[in-house]
C-alpha cells in the first residue's frame, strides 16, 4: 500500500467519524428541542393572534347566544344551497374540512380525537345516537357541524372520527 492510499484511507475514516458524530449530535439536539418545545408551542399557539382569529372566524356564526324573551331572529343562520363542488367526497375529507376545527383542539368542549376517556361513553351510546347528535347538533356543536351536507356525508364523518378513536 502506498503512502497516498494510506493517507486517503486515514482521511476518509476520520471524515466519516466526524460526520457521524455531528449527525448523532444533531439528532440529539433535535430531540431535546422537540421535548422542550412541545409545552411551549401549545401555550403560544393559544395566544397567537392569527390562530385566535382563524378559530373565531370558524365559530363566529355559532358563537352568538339567544336570550329568552328577546327577539333572536338576527341570530338565525341563513340556509344557503351548498354547491356540489363544496360537498366533500368522503368522511375523512369532511372531518378535515369542518369537524377537525373543534375535535382536533377540543374547542368549545368538543371531545378531542384520541381522547379515549372522552369518547368512551359516547361510543357506548352507539352509532345511531352519535349520528343523531351530529345531524341535530349537541351542546355547542351546531346541526350538521354548521353545514348543509347530506346525511350520508355527516354519517361518514362520524364513522371516520370513530375509526380515529378506536
In order, the DSSP letters of 5-50 are HHHHHHHHHHHHHHHHHHHHHHHHHHHHHHHHHHHHHHHHHHH-HH
Each residue's pLDDT tens digit, 14-36:
999 999 999 999 999 999 988 88
How confident is the prediction for the chain on average, in pLDDT?
82
Residue 151 has, within 13 A of its CA and on its CB side, a CA count of 7
- Rounded to whole angstroms, the Cα distance separating 91 from 134 reads 13
pLDDT for the residue 78: 65
Task: Supply the pTM of this predicted model.
Answer: 0.49
- What mean pLDDT is predicted for residues 75-83? 62
Set of cell numbers at residue 151: 346525511
How many CB atoms are located within 10 Å of the residue 62 CB?
Answer: 17
Q: How confident is the model at residue 81 (pLDDT cuts 50, 70, 90)?
A: low
Which pLDDT score is estimated for 31? 93
Amino acid 26: pLDDT: 97
- pLDDT confidence tier of residue 11, bands split at 50, 70 and 90: very high
pLDDT (0 to 100) of residue 16: 96
Share of the chain above pLDDT 90, in %: 14
64 pLDDT band (50/70/90 cuts)? Answer: low
Sorted by sequence, the CB contacts under 8 Å of residue 103 that are 6+ apart come out as 95, 110, 111, 112, 113, 161
And the C-alpha cell for 118? 372522552
Grid cell, residue 79, equals 340556509
Cα 10 from Cα 16, distance rounded (Å):
10
Amino acid at each position: 500500500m502506498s503512502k497516498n492510499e494510506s493517507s486517503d484511507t486515514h482521511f476518509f475514516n476520520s471524515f466519516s467519524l466526524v460526520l457521524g458524530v455531528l449527525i448523532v449530535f444533531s439528532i440529539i439536539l433535535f430531540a431535546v428541542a422537540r421535548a422542550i418545545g412541545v409545552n411551549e408551542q401549545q401555550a403560544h399557539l393559544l395566544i397567537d393572534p392569527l390562530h385566535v382569529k382563524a378559530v373565531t372566524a370558524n365559530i363566529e356564526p355559532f358563537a352568538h347566544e339567544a336570550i329568552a324573551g328577546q327577539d333572536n331572529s338576527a341570530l338565525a343562520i341563513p340556509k344557503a344551497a351548498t354547491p356540489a363542488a363544496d360537498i366533500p367526497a368522503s368522511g375523512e375529507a369532511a372531518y378535515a374540512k369542518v369537524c377537525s376545527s373543534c375535535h382536533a383542539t377540543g374547542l368549545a368542549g368538543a371531545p378531542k380525537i384520541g381522547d379515549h376517556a372522552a369518547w368512551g361513553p359516547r361510543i357506548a351510546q352507539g352509532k345511531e345516537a352519535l349520528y343523531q347528535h351530529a345531524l341535530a347538533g349537541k351542546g355547542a356543536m351546531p346541526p350538521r357541524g354548521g353545514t348543509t351536507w347530506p346525511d350520508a356525508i355527516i354519517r361518514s364523518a362520524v364513522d371516520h372520527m370513530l375509526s380515529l378513536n378506536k
